[in-house]
Structure 1
Amino acid sequence: MAQVTGGAHERMLSVAVAALHERDPERLWPLLAGALPGLCGGETLIYKLDDWNEAEGTVGMPPEAAAGFDGLAEEELGLLRTGYPFAHRYAAGPDRTPLTARRAAGAAWSASPTARLIGDIMDAEHVLAIPLPGTTTPITGCMVYRSGTDFTDDHLRTARQLQPLLAAVEQQRQLLERRQRTAAPRAVHTPAADCALTPRETTVLLLLTDALTAAAIGRRLGISDRTVHKHIEKIYRKLGTRDRISTVLRAQRLGLVPMKDR
């Protein structure tokens, strides 16, 4: 398999670090949207964090691209939500390999209403779908757009290598949203600052409350078991605890993690 080039690897690492230090879940995907297209040969993108279907769902995009979407009719928004021809393709089975519209639909792509729409509002001719790996229902992810020639095999390989990063950022977004919904308003900020937990330690702590093993946490975050254990040791030291149960209980009392429903 081709490796990500040095420059692209550095940009991927920069995006990952920025995402891990971002505390506002609403800013994570806009952060990705600004960096992701250039990494895999695109010019702009839209992302769907709910199912790719015509009837409902939100469409996110970089701020600089938003002006082109103002005033779209509901039918046109439905075309973007559906993500032709990808939704039906991915719904048919578990394969989540990135794919271009032309490779998925052949000659029918150029004649489709979706192709005409993106040509009008984005001046683009080609689309690369990057679904989040492991998603079933809903199918979530992003679609990257470009003009000129279609995405190359190298672009598709890079997209596959980006999928774990996208999945980790989405996991981080969901954890932060859950924390915002359930933690006491005062406890969200002050105790964490007092304990000086890093963003990554806070994420590991949240996963500890779900009784996940170090191996499971590592798989979720894309890090080794050894790194997970180092984070756990630092959490113990900062909270003044010695085991998982006392750590979770203390974190709940401090408002660092939500109380579990009984």
Structure 2
Amino acid sequence: MAQGLDRAYERLTAVAVAALHEREPGRLWPLLGAALTGLCGGEAVVHKLDDWTERSGTVGAAPDGAAAELGRLADADLGLLRAGYPFARHYAASTDRTPVSAHRAAGTDWPGSRTAQLLGDVLDVDHVLGVPLPGSAAPITGCLVYRSGTDFTDDHLTMAERAQPLLAGVERQRRLLLEWRRSAPVGTPDERAAECALTPRETTVLLLLADALTADTIGRRLGVSPRTVHKHIENIYRKLGTRDRISTVLHAQRLGLLAPPAGRGPFTGPC
């Protein structure tokens, strides 16, 4: 079993690396779904990228069959799923973000809970594993992995904990891509980045360069080493034909890759 989980972890790692080359932020988490379920011994996964509360929050699911079933839920049932019982309460009680199953967190209260009954009716599953993103506080964000039959094993929980840094890295990338899209000039920043041969990862590094962050700080934001950041910066300089941070940011503004200074429109010429 350990060898099978190790192979699943390798697949998840490969998917996480591939996700960092995806330009569409909305595709990052769906790419992780199948690999994460296999790693944790599950059958379906829900990712919640905002607070685990009944009142608000988006819910994404994999595989497609699970997503379709969740899409048919009434608002009240979907709100019950959003609440993430018993994980919201469990993780709000401390800063510990170690993955835990619903049965271990709620004990004998879990099988008779409204959430357990709903999941049995809708997805035909009995158990849930909470995998919060490390460091998430308010809101608590992360994934819920589902399975039928027996509860998640200690090995499954260990592998889920190993996966947490990978999930956190993908989520950081997703948020930065969304921030870049919101802050970029009106138009098609993705096309401009592609024309300049910038990868999505290089694009997020460029965004952080514009914030005057050091390589060490950028590395901490992205969860990578300063050496890796410097390699990305070198690639950005080469592709944009620049030699330093200031000229790179100014040139990126002229190209429409970054928001230009107030009162000036983006330049639309070649890189």
Structure 1 stretches lacking a partner, 5+ long:
none
Note the 1:213-252 alignment, pairs <5 A.
213-252=214-253
Q: Counterpart amino acid of 2:16?
A: A
Are the counterparts in 2 of residues 187 and 256 from structure 1 also a CA contact under 8 Å? no
Q: Counterpart amino acid of 1:235?
A: I
Q: Equivalent residue of 2:46, what SS?
A: strand
Structure 2 stretches lacking a partner, 5+ long:
264-271
Answering whether residue 142 of structure 2 is matched by residue 133 of structure 1, we say no
- Deviation of the 1:259 alpha carbon: 4.1
2:160 counterpart residue number: 159
Q: Equivalent residue of 1:61, what SS?
A: strand
- Deviation of the 1:115 alpha carbon: 0.7
Q: CA RMSD in A?
A: 2.1
**Count of residues in correspondence between the two structures:** 261
C-alpha deviations, 1:239-261, integer Å up to 9, x for none? Answer: 22222222222212212123477
Are the counterparts in 2 of residues 127 and 143 from structure 1 also a CA contact under 8 Å? yes
CA distance in 2, matches of 1:84, 1:246: 51
Q: Counterpart amino acid of 1:22?
A: E
Note the 1:74-93 alignment, pairs <5 A.
74-93=75-94
Note the 1:104-253 alignment, pairs <5 A.
104-186=105-187, 188-253=189-254
CA distance in 2, matches of 1:260, 1:53: 39
CA distance in 2, matches of 1:73, 1:80: 11
Q: What is the TM-score normalised by the length of structure 1?
A: 0.92
Are the counterparts in 2 of residues 4 and 158 from structure 1 also a CA contact under 8 Å? no
C-alpha deviations, 1:119-149, integer Å up to 9, x for none? Answer: 1111111100011111111111110000111
1:49 counterpart residue number: 49
- Deviation of the 1:165 alpha carbon: 1.2
Are the counterparts in 1 of residues 185 and 258 from structure 2 also a CA contact under 8 Å? no
Q: Counterpart amino acid of 2:117?
A: R
Q: Percent of aligned positions with the same letter in both sequences? A: 65
CA distance in 1, matches of 2:207, 2:122: 41
C-alpha deviations, 1:143-175, integer Å up to 9, x for none? Answer: 000011111111111111111111111111112
Are the counterparts in 2 of residues 131 and 140 from structure 1 also a CA contact under 8 Å? yes
Answering whether residue 66 of structure 2 is matched by residue 65 of structure 1, we say yes
2:34 counterpart residue number: 34
- Deviation of the 1:32 alpha carbon: 1.5
- Cα distance change of structure 1 residues 261 and 117 upon mapping to structure 2, 3 Å threshold: farther
CA distance in 1, matches of 2:124, 2:94: 32
CA distance in 1, matches of 2:219, 2:141: 22
2:266 counterpart residue number: none
